[in-house]
Amino acid sequence: MGQKLISKASIGIQKPVEEVFEAIVNPEIMANFFISQGSERMEPGKEICWAFPEFEGDFAVSVKEIRRNEYISFVWDPDSLVEIKLEKRSNSDAVIRVFEEGHNNDEEGIKWAIGQSEGWANFLACMKAWLEYGIHLRKGAFEFMKTDGSNH
């Protein structure tokens, strides 16, 4: 039971890997599919803040490592590390894989892993909708969380 759990999700996006990478590190682009506001661009060693439309306050993000068009890692939960791996499939096709590791293999950790996998799958679907079709898939999707307290 000492093993740490890993939450994961992946998707293919029919856009160049360079465009997908920029959509993740640039808060002005990310505001179209994930956050409502970001304090600044993701760069290694930076402490940035993200705000989400469905939650109060800002969330601190500690950017760890970035390899352009290949890899992004950060911490936003002191118990876990988020890794985003980008794979170029062709000049106009990329695969994005998100992993978040750190919580214990117990009942609380299992609930966390399920919730994070759901969240990262949503992040990827929203990013795909925005980058491929210009659709704000996230808009209004979580308004219910403000009123009924279902934020887990």
Domain count, the chain: 1
Average pLDDT over residues 142-149: 65
* Cα separation, 83 vs 34, whole angstroms: 16
| Residue in the block written with tokens 């911490």 | 75
Compute the mean pLDDT over every residue in the chain, rounded to the nearest whole number: 92
Question: Which structure tokens are listed for 68?
Answer: 């352009």
Question: Which structure tokens are listed for 79?
Answer: 């118990």
Average pLDDT over residues 94-121: 96
Task: Calculate the dihedral angle through the C-alpha atoms of 92, 64, 61, 122, rounding to the nearest 10 degrees.
Answer: 30
Would the pTM of this model clear 0.85, i.e. be above it?
Answer: yes
CATH code at position 116: 3.30.530.20
Q: What is the pLDDT of residue 148?
A: 56
pLDDT tens digits along 17-61: 999 999 999 999 999 999 999 999 999 999 999 998 888 889 999
- Single-letter residue type at 82: V
Q: Which domain holds residue 117?
A: 4-148
